[in-house]
Chain A
Amino acid sequence: MNPTNYLYLSAILFSIGAVGVVVRRNAIVVFMCIELMLNAANLAFVTFANMTGNLQGQVMAFFTMVVAACEVVVGLAIIVTIYRSRRSASVDDASLLSR
C-alpha cells in the first residue's frame, strides 16, 4: 500500500475544505470546513511519519489537534456572542470594511 496515496487524499480533502470556506455563508459551516483542512494536514503528517520511520510526524499531528481544539473553542464562543447581538450567523453581515 503506497503511502503516497494518503498524500493525494490529503490534498483533495484540503482543497475541498478550501472551497467550503469560501462558498458557504453560515459561520459554523465555515468553521467546520476549516476543521476539515486541519484534519487533512494531520493526515499528511501521519503519512510522513510512516514514510520516514520517525515518530516526529505523529507528534506534530498531536500538537496540531490540540491547537485546533483551542481554536474551535474560542471561535465558537465568538460566533455565539455575535449571534446574541445580531441574531444572525451569516458571514456576509460583517461587511463594514467595504469602501
Chain B
Amino acid sequence: MFWVLAPLTVFAAVGMLLVKKAVYSAILLAFVMIALAIFYIAQDAPFLGIVQIVVYTGAVMMLFLFILMLVGVDSSDSLVETIKGLRGVAITTSLAFAAALTSLIARAEFGQEPLGLASANANGNVEGIANLIFRQYVWAFEVISALLITAALGAMVLAHSPKSSEARLSQRARSVARFRGASIGTAAGLPGSGVFARHNAVDVPALLPDGKPSDLSIPSVLAERGDVQETKRYALDGLPKLDEEDK
C-alpha cells in the first residue's frame, strides 16, 4: 500500500508546484493531506489521522479555497520567472537539501528495533494521547489554546474594514441635506448658460456660471476702439444696483 500511495503523494506535491491555476494546487494539496492521513492511520495513529482529515483537509484547506474565491478563482500566475536565475538555483538547492537529508537519514543509527505502538496504545490511542496531553504537556496545551484564541482575534481585527464604522445616512436624511445645501446647485443643479442674462448687447459681458462677468465675451475690436463698458458692473450680485440706476 505504501508503495502505491507514496509515489502518488510525491506526484501530487510536484503537481502542486507546476499547475497554473491556484485552485488546482489547493485540490492537489488536499489529496496529499488525505494520503498523509492514511499513513498516520497505518502507523497506529488513528486519532491523528482523523484529526488530519477533519481539521486540516476539512477546515484549513476549505479556508484556502474560500480565500481563493475572494481573491479570484481564475487568478493564475504566469509560470515565467521574473527574477533571473532564481528557478535554477532554487531547484539545485532543494535537490541538494533532499540529498543531504536522505543520506543523513540513511546513515542514522536508530539504536534499536522499531517498537510498535502496541503497548502505548494498550488502552486505546485516544486515551494514550489524552494521558500525555493532560498530564505531562498540559502547560503546552493551555498555551496553544491561548494562541488559537489570539489568532482568531487577530483574524477578526485584520478583516475589519474601516468603512463599516462610519454611520450610513438614511435616504430621508440625505434628501433633506440635499435641499438645504449652500446653493441651488446641490438641489437641482445649476441653470444652463444664458438663463440670467439681462442684455444681449454686444458690449455687455456675459456672466460665467459663478456670477462673474467674463472679459472674453466682448469682441476685441470693441476693446481696440475703446467702446467698452466696465465689465465689473455687470457681476451677478451687482445687478440689483444696475436695475435701480436704470429706473
Contact = CB atoms under 8 A, between A and B. Distances in A.
A46 B71 contact: no
B87 interface: yes
Contacts of B117: 49-50, 53, 55
Interface in B55-90: 55-56, 59-60, 63-64, 67-68, 70-72, 75-77, 81-83, 86-87, 90
Contacts of A65: 51-52, 55-56
Given A69-B148, A78-B158, A35 B29 contact: yes
Contacts, number: 213
A31 B83 CA distance: 20
B190 interface: no
Secondary structure of the B side of the interface?
helix
A1 B2 contact: yes
B155 A73 contact: yes
B101 A24 contact: no
Nearest to A64: B144
Q: How large is the interface on B (under 10, 10 to 19, 20 to 34, 35 or more residues)?
A: 35 or more
A48 B77 CA distance: 38
Interface stretch (B128-136, B180-188, B216-224): B128-136
Contact of A15 (B95, B120, B148): B95
Interface string B10-52: 1001101100001001100100110010011001110110011
